[in-house]
Chains A and B, each alone.
Chain A
Amino acid sequence: MQKSWLRRMLVVRRFEEQLIVLHEAGELAGHYHVCIGQEGTAIGVLAHAGPDDVVYTTHRNHGHLLLRGADPERLFAEILGRSTGYSRGRSGTLHLSAPELGVPWSSALVGGNVPQAIGAAYALARLRPGSIAVCFFGDGAFEEGAVFEALNTAAVLGLPVLFVCENNGLAEDHGAAGAFPTSSTAAERLIDLSGAFRIPSVGIDGIDAHVVSETVARLAHEVRGGGGPRFVETASVRWPGSRSLWPALTGGRFRIEWLTGETDPPAEIAAWTRTGDPLRPLHERLLAAGETSRDELHAIDAEVRAEIERAAARAVAAPMPTAEAAFDTQAGAA
């Protein structure tokens, strides 16, 4: 358990909240996805991915980029289509990349990244033995055939890839009016699907970063040692702000006081704050170990909020690309 996780988790939380604010202010064109509620998985998994490892993420990618070390200002700028973004505004949120941080690019197609992740593993086995590919995808990806082909191929070839299925419970809301459109799989347990290809698979609580980290430490070690692919399903509780098609700050911005008991959260967010917020188990574990205090939590959060607000303001003020920039790397010749 690491104290630094608290700060990093708050960076992701405040970044995502700020995006919702920017969208509501009309600064962000197009649709986007936030990962609030899935930070425990991201932190617990990425704690075991080194600089030589490769991470293939999804359309819900902001947290993964930030935790690999991406600069919040450049990330905001890219998501807002500004010329100072990672790809000078070519990718937006959907195709974020930071190859220097081991994130080659993001496919925005459900399941589209999974074959590519096994390809990264195929390459690493030859180019950098001992390095692994980490492949994030959501439970909805099991509705796509590409995922089954990739799981089978990874198992047949014994590729060094760790599959991380972030089950955020989207399927619960299938068909609800105004809800995020999603369906589901007939399988009762997702690990039965990967297990059918004889990939050692485990399902765990994905909210508590400590639990995720302990499991992934073992799995990543096995993959790194040449044991072939491993699969972990991490279950989280969907953040109420991600229930609607467009993300919303349901209950307002997160407040530290909700964790510390200084105030009660609004009714619409109360249940999730109690049972679904990854900040809670992390904070409680650190408190119990005497590694942090209520005052310190407030102080860290104040710092993070100021940093994120500053990064967002700079990104908003950054220039849009010139129209000619659409053509200058038609074949990627930048």
Chain B
Amino acid sequence: MAVVTYAMALARALEEALVADDRVALIGNNFGGLTAEQRHFDELGARFPDRIDHTPWSELANAGMAIGAATVGMRPVVDLVTASFVFQAFAQIVNEAPNIAYTTDGRTRAPAVFHMLAGIRGAGASQHSHRPQAMFWNTPGLQVAVPGTPGDAYGLMRHYLLEADEPCAFVSHPKLLEVEQEIADWEAERLAPGRGRIEREGADVTIIASSVMVTRSLEAAERLAADHAIDCEVLNLRTLAPFDDALVAASVTKTGRVVVADECFRSAGAGAEILARVAESHFASLRAAPRRVVAPDVPVPFSPVLEDAVTPTAERVVAAVAEACAR
């Protein structure tokens, strides 16, 4: 039984992919960002110096390079570091890669992985705190990975590097890098994209979560059980595209109450789409208005006090669930 961090699990996936397939290559290798966890990727870099290229700070060219390499048979992952820089590369990620398989009728494919550290990371201020997953989800042809656990990071990165046909925006939350998990069976973590997990079973209310909100929702669920006698079911979506509609359907039908926990901004965020799906498909099952715990529509401020005011925390999940369950 091994206790691993998110970063260690991600590094393990990269290592396994590099060993398994010569076509896998890394464009950039700063997956650990500013954390001490970067050491796992430095060790990887030392082991595979010929498989990792360090490119200029040119995210647009780096992303396009990964796409072009993928169209002729490679399986690259490009590390875009903090998601603030992903906007420099947006033209390639959202208006080039996702169109290739479709417009060529599947004759050319571009299975490039675009990895980024994205989320309210602590003192990132407005530009370094983005959660761009909803923008990616608005782009057909692009898969969107939002791992909530170390096991998710391992299974999904391994899948996208070794098996996927589609390009993927791989969104790792910086606050998950040091989160730990005991993993006994690595194979069990190799769940396909579009398959979410029930992280905690419960009868009273469904919390639909992704990325860092999985951790916060589980924390909230424990407090709700202890303080409010509310039994929460916590879903971990793992990917937004494809979306696990079946998982949501089964849980909502059972509990009849929904709280969506999402770190995106409120307007047109991932939470908005999830709520729309719930309302459209499960209206008859709902016993209370569905709610969302999201970031308000203001840029993320710098000062810790101000940042905390806009962060969807476990406390805010507790409050929303309590409201949803109030009679």
Contacts and interface: CB of A to CB of B under 8 A. Distances in A.
Interface of A: 54, 56, 86-88, 90-91, 95, 97, 99-100, 104-105, 107, 109, 112, 114-124, 126-127, 133, 145-146, 149-150, 152-153, 156-157, 329-334
A127 B91 CA distance: 27
Nearest to B165: A332
B56 A156 contact: yes
Nearest to A104: B71
A107 B96 contact: yes
Contact of B103 (A105, A145, A152): A105
Given A109-B91, A127-B72, A87 B107 contact: yes
9 contacts: A54-B72, A87-B107, A90-B105, A120-B72, A149-B61, A152-B56, A152-B61, A332-B101, A332-B109
B232 to A, nearest CB: 33
Contact of B102 (A127, A157, A330): A330
Contact of A332 (B53, B55, B95, B141): B141
Nearest to A107: B96
A97 B64 contact: no
A146 B60 contact: yes
A118 B55 CA distance: 12
A122 B112 CA distance: 14
Contacts of B153: none
A115 B99 contact: no
A116 B65 CA distance: 5
B81 to A, nearest CB: 16
Given A90-B102, A334-B106, A119 B64 contact: yes
Interface string B64-98: 11111111111010000000000000011001100
B74 A115 contact: no
Contacts, number: 162
Contacts of A331: 101-102, 140-141, 143, 165-166
A97 B103 CA distance: 8
Nearest to B65: A119
A25 B182 CA distance: 68
B100 interface: yes
Contacts of B104: 86-87, 90-91, 95, 97, 99, 104-105, 332
Given A87-B107, A97-B107, A332 B102 contact: yes
A115 B73 contact: no
A149 B60 contact: yes
Nearest to B102: A332
B171 interface: no
Contacts of A123: 68-70, 72-74
Given A157-B53, A332-B166, A116 B64 contact: yes
Given A116-B92, A116-B96, 16 more contacts: A90-B105, A95-B99, A99-B71, A100-B107, A105-B100, A115-B61, A116-B65, A116-B67, A117-B68, A119-B66, A119-B68, A126-B22, A127-B73, A153-B55, A332-B105, A334-B106
Contact of B23 (A56, A120, A127): A127
B108 interface: yes
Nearest to A92: B103
Contacts of B58: 149-150, 152-153
Given A146-B91, A152-B58, A126 B74 contact: yes
A114 B25 contact: no
Interface of B: 22-23, 25, 53, 55-56, 58, 60-74, 76, 91-92, 95-96, 99-109, 140-141, 143, 165-166
B56 A120 contact: no
B101 A329 contact: yes
A142 to B, nearest CB: 15
A153 B95 CA distance: 21
| A95, A97, A116, A150 — most chain B CB neighbours (10 Å) | A116
Contact of A88 (B72, B105, B108): B105
Contact of A112 (B70, B96, B103): B96
| A88, A95, A149, A157 — most chain B CB neighbours (10 Å) | A149
A115 B69 contact: no
Which 9 pairs, one residue from A and one from B, show the smallest C-beta to C-beta distance?
A: A332-B101, A115-B64, A119-B68, A116-B68, A334-B106, A149-B61, A149-B58, A119-B65, A104-B71
B239 to A, nearest CB: 12
Nearest to B61: A149
Contacts of A119: 64-72, 76
A91 B103 contact: yes
Nearest to A118: B65
Contact of A122 (B56, B65, B99, B141): B65
A97 B58 CA distance: 27
Given A95-B103, A329-B106, A115 B140 contact: no
B9 to A, nearest CB: 26
Contacts of B140: 330-331
Contacts of A107: 96
B64 A146 contact: yes
Nearest to A98: B107
Nearest to B143: A331
A76 B76 CA distance: 34
B96 to A, nearest CB: 6
A121 B143 CA distance: 25
Contacts of A149: 56, 58, 60-61
Nearest to A326: B102
Given A117-B68, A122-B65, A333 B106 contact: yes
Contacts of B55: 153, 156-157
B223 to A, nearest CB: 39
A127 B104 CA distance: 22
B161 to A, nearest CB: 15
Contacts of A90: 102-105
A105 B99 CA distance: 10
B109 A118 contact: no
Contacts of B56: 149, 152-153, 156
